[in-house]
Structure 1
Amino acid sequence: MPTRLEFAAGPPLGCHRRRIPDRIVFEHLVLALVHGSGYERLSSPGCSDRTIRRRLKERATQGISEVVHAIALQVYDRMIGLELSGISVDGCITKAPCGGECAGRSPVDRGKQGLKRSLASDGSGVPIGLVAAGANRHDSPLLGPTLEAAIGQMGPLPEDVNVNLDRGYDNNKSRTLLRELGFTGEIARKGVPAPIQAGKRWTVERTHPWMNGYGKLRRCTERNGAVVEFYLHLAATLVTLRMLIRRSTSRYRWDGRPATRRLK
C-alpha cells in the first residue's frame, strides 16, 4: 500500500488538515457491511460520510479486500487446512434496489433489481471464490468465472477435485467445462426430488446464509461494481476468520480464547 501522509498535501491558505486514520475509516466500513445503513447515519464527528465514500472507492479500486481475503485463506489453510478435494458452487439472489453495474431484473422478486452472488466453497464451507452478476443471469454461465476466481485466490487446485452442483448446472456446457479444467462433477439431475440427491453441496448452501447475515449484502445499494466486489470479499474474509476462530478453539490454546461457540 502507498505511504500516507499525516496531513493533506497542498492545503489551501497554508492550513493543515489532519488525515483521518485508515483504521477509523475501516471500522465505519465494517459497520456499513454489518448493518447495511447509509453512510450519513454511520458518520461520526471524526469521520464524515464523504470521507467514507471517497476512501471506499479508493480501496475498492486498489482491490484491497481481495488481497485480505487471500491472506485469510492462506492463514486458514496453514492452521486448519482447506478441504479442496470437494468444492461446492451455488448462486444466491439478493436485493439491489438502486440498480447498478452488477444488478439485473430478479426472476424471484417481480422483476425488481437484484444481485446474484455465485460462490464457491471448500468441503467445510469456507468461501474461496466469489463472482457478482445481475439477478437475471443463470447459474450455469457463472460456473467458469467462479472457479477461475477460486483458482485466482488459491492458486493451482489439486488434481482430484470433485465439484458438487445442483440441478441448475445439469447441462453439457457445465460438464465440458469441468472436463477441460480436469475436475470431476457431482451434478444433481433434473426431475429427481432434491432430498434423494442432496449430495455434499449443503456446505455452500450454508455459507450463503452466513453471507446474507451482513446487511450490505442482503440489500445492496451500491451501484459501482468494484464497491460491490469489495463488500463481497470483505464479508467472505469475516466468514473465513469466524470459521478459523471457531475451529481453532478445539485445536489450539491462547489467551482470550472464546469460551462459547457463539462469536460476537
Structure 2
Amino acid sequence: MPVLPSWLTEPLWEQFSALLPQRPRYHPDHPLRCHRPRVKDRIVFDKLLQVLRFGCSYEAIADTTCSASTIRSRRDEWIGLGVFSRLNQIALESYDRIIGLVLDQIAVDGCITKAPGGGEVAGRSPVDRGKQGLKRSAMTDGYGIPLGHVLAGANCHDSPLLAPTLDRLSGLGPLPDDITVHLDAGYDSIKTRTLLDERGLRGRIAHKGEKAPIQAGKRWHVERTHAWQNAFHRLARCFERRATMIDAFFDLADAIITIRSLIRRSWITQRWDNRPRRRP
C-alpha cells in the first residue's frame, strides 16, 4: 500500500525533483566508471516519505534498493541545499496564487509531542511525567494552511514563543492591513496584548476561567492542523536530535498538507491534464 495516494505523490515529486541538482549516475572521478551506481533520488524520496508517515527507523525502511546510510546521507545533502524549505515555500506560493491564503484571520497555538531521544530542542514534558518532549508553536491561516512554526522544549510556555512565531509572517509577501490573531487562554496577558499592538495586529484571545466553546472563534483551524501534522508519526514521536532535521521533516509535512488542500479545493474550480476523476 503506498504511503500517499498517487494524485498527491506525483505532483509533490515533480516539484521536489525540479529543485535537485543534476548528478551523474557514476562518479566522474572514478578511473573505470564501473563502481556502484548512485541510488536514484526518487527511491530515496519515497523512503523519506515512509519514514515521515510511519515514524519507523531508517533501518526498518531500508531494503535492497536503498540502505539506511544512503537515506541519511541523501537527507543531509538535501537539507544542506535547502530543498525542503524551498519546497514548502513554493507550495505556499502556489496555494496563495490559485486559492488564496486567508491572512486576515490567523491562529497560533502550541502542541506538545514526544521526543524519546532528546535532542537540541527537547525538554522535560509537563504532561508526560517529565519525559523528553518537543513543543511546536504553529501558525496557520484562516483555513488551516500551516504558515510557519517554532520549535522549543516541552517545558517552554506558549507565550514567549508567540513573537518568533509571528515573525514568520514577514516571508509571506504583502499582508492585509487588518489582521486578527486568534489565541487561546494561555496567551491571556498584558504582555501578549502589548506585543500584538506593537505589531499592528488585533488579538482575539480567550479569557482565563471562562469556558472555551463560548468564545472559541476560529482557533479550531490551528487545532485541526496540529492533528494533520501529528498524523505523520515522525513528528508525533520524534527521534531526531538535530533541529535542522526536525525542521526539514516539518517542511516536508507542511508541503504535503498544503498541496493536498490545494488539489482538493481546486478540483471544483480548476482543470488540468491529470486531474482526478473523483474529488480527492
CA spacing shift, 1:43–1:12, aligned 2, 3 Å: farther
Aligned partner (choices 171, 186, 194) of residue 168 of structure 1: 186
2:215 aligned with 1:197:
yes
Q: Is the 8 A contact 1:103 1:115 kept in 2?
A: yes
2:129 matched residue in structure 1: 110
Q: Is the 8 A contact 2:114 2:134 kept in 1?
A: yes
2:249 aligned with 1:231:
yes
Aligned 1:184-263 pairs, distance under 5 A? 184-261=202-279, 263=280
CA distance in 2, matches of 1:215, 1:175: 35
CA distance in 2, matches of 1:257, 1:14: 42
1:128 matched residue in structure 2: 147
2:109 aligned with 1:90:
yes
Q: Is the 8 A contact 1:98 1:223 kept in 2?
A: yes
CA spacing shift, 1:63–1:173, aligned 2, 3 Å: farther
CA distance in 2, matches of 1:62, 1:10: 22
Kindly state the Cα deviation for residue 192 of structure 1 after the two structures are TM-superposed. 1.1
Aligned partner (choices 80, 85, 92) of residue 99 of structure 2: 80
Once the two structures are overlaid, the 10-residue window that deviates more, 209-218 or 14-23, is 14-23
**What letter corresponds to residue 50 of structure 1 in structure 2?**
S
Q: Is the 8 A contact 1:120 1:150 kept in 2?
A: no
Q: Is the 8 A contact 2:139 2:147 kept in 1?
A: yes
Q: Is the 8 A contact 1:11 1:17 kept in 2?
A: no
SS at match of 1:185: strand
Give the number of aligned pairs. Answer: 261
CA spacing shift, 1:182–1:44, aligned 2, 3 Å: same
SS at match of 2:116: coil
CA distance in 1, matches of 2:207, 2:28: 61
1:179 matched residue in structure 2: 197
Kindly state the Cα deviation for residue 13 of structure 1 after the two structures are TM-superposed. 8.4
SS at match of 1:253: coil
Kindly state the Cα deviation for residue 47 of structure 1 after the two structures are TM-superposed. 1.1
CA distance in 1, matches of 2:49, 2:112: 22
Gaps of 5+ in 2: 1-19
Q: Is the 8 A contact 1:167 1:189 kept in 2?
A: yes
SS at match of 1:17: coil
CA distance in 1, matches of 2:184, 2:177: 22
Kindly state the Cα deviation for residue 171 of structure 1 after the two structures are TM-superposed. 1.4
CA distance in 2, matches of 1:181, 1:59: 35
Once the two structures are overlaid, the 10-residue window that deviates more, 119-128 or 2-11, is 2-11
Q: Is the 8 A contact 2:144 2:221 kept in 1?
A: yes
Q: Is the 8 A contact 2:26 2:33 kept in 1?
A: no
**What letter corresponds to residue 162 of structure 1 in structure 2?**
T
Q: TM-score, normalised by structure 2?
A: 0.88
Aligned partner (choices 84, 90, 95) of residue 71 of structure 1: 90
Q: Is the 8 A contact 1:115 1:132 kept in 2?
A: yes
CA distance in 2, matches of 1:10, 1:170: 62
CA spacing shift, 1:14–1:233, aligned 2, 3 Å: closer
**What letter corresponds to residue 206 of structure 2 in structure 1?**
A
CA distance in 1, matches of 2:46, 2:52: 10
Gaps of 5+ in 1: none
Q: Is the 8 A contact 1:69 1:236 kept in 2?
A: yes
Kindly state the Cα deviation for residue 253 of structure 1 after the two structures are TM-superposed. 3.0
CA distance in 2, matches of 1:55, 1:38: 15
Among all aligned residue pairs of Structure 1 and Structure 2, give the percentage whose two residues are the same amino acid.
55
